């Protein structure tokens, strides 16, 4: 089914460019064809897309998207043939033209879709790289079994990085040393 999603920000933290891109990027994950079209301004956005989800499922999905963005109100409706607008006839026709049954158009690819595919892929790659780096750090921390620092090395560490940089074991070694002196 084809849908129109009207978004109206009601949060002063709404960033018209980035938050609209975020909403469109989330919609890209559930659209049926490789196309999503949208128009946005400072206080509104209109998204046109096709999805296999029914309207109730799609409404739940949009509610989940709202949890990750500043607050907005929305109107979700199925696209009908009887749409009236004060847009130019060609502009409205282009906005409402979405591939039928997922067929590829003979026209050039939609730059908005390419942007979202690239952005989504870059975000996934960045997320997985961060996750792998964190896991590597966790493994390195677990494998970092080194000999305890000598008193001189502990004192050098305090001089270089401050006393708050000491581990519990290093503080205990320093306390034990001072008690024995």
List the chain domain ranges: 2-131, 146-180
The pairs formed by 90-97 with CB atoms below 8 angstroms and a separation of 24 or more are: 94/37, 95/37, 95/39, 95/46, 95/48, 96/48
Quote the pLDDT of residue 25. Answer: 78
Strand order in 2-9's β-sheet?
31-41, 44-51, 2-9, 72-78
User: Per-residue pLDDT averaged across 32-40, rounded?
Assistant: 73
Distance, in Å, from the CA atom of 6 to the CA atom of 74, rounded to the nearest integer, reads 5
Quote the pLDDT of residue 112. Answer: 64
47-106 pLDDT, tens digit per residue, is: 888 888 888 888 888 888 878 777 788 888 888 777 877 878 887 777 777 755 444 445
CB atoms within 10 A of CB 38: 19
CA angle in degrees (0–180, nearest 5) for 18-6-74: 90
Please report, for the chain, how many H helices and E strands are present, in that order: 6, 4
Q: Is the pLDDT of residue 118 over 80?
A: no
CATH 3.30.70.260: does it fit domain 2-131? Answer: yes
pTM for this prediction = 0.49
User: Per-residue pLDDT averaged across 144-151, rounded?
Assistant: 72
Q: Is the pLDDT of residue 36 over 80?
A: no
């Amino acid at each position: 089914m084809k849908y129109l999603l009207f978004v109206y920000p009601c949060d002063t933290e709404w960033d018209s460019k980035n938050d609209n891109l975020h909403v469109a990027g989330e919609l890209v994950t559930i659209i049926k064809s490789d196309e999503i079209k949208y128009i946005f301004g400072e206080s509104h956005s209109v998204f046109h897309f096709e999805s296999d989800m029914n309207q109730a499922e799609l409404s739940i999905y949009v509610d989940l998207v709202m949890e990750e963005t500043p607050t907005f109100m929305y109107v979700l409706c199925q696209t009908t043939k009887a749409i009236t607008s004060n847009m130019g006839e060609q502009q409205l026709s282009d906005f409402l033209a979405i591939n039928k049954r997922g067929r590829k158009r003979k026209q050039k690819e939609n730059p908005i879709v390419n942007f979202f595919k690239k952005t989504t892929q870059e975000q996934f790659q960045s997320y997985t790289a961060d996750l792998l780096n964190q896991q590597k750090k966790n493994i390195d921390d677990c494998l970092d079994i080194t000999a305890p620092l000598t008193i001189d090395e502990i004192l050098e560490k305090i001089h270089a990085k401050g006393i708050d940089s000491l581990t519990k074991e290093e503080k205990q070694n320093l306390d034990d040393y001072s008690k024995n002196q």
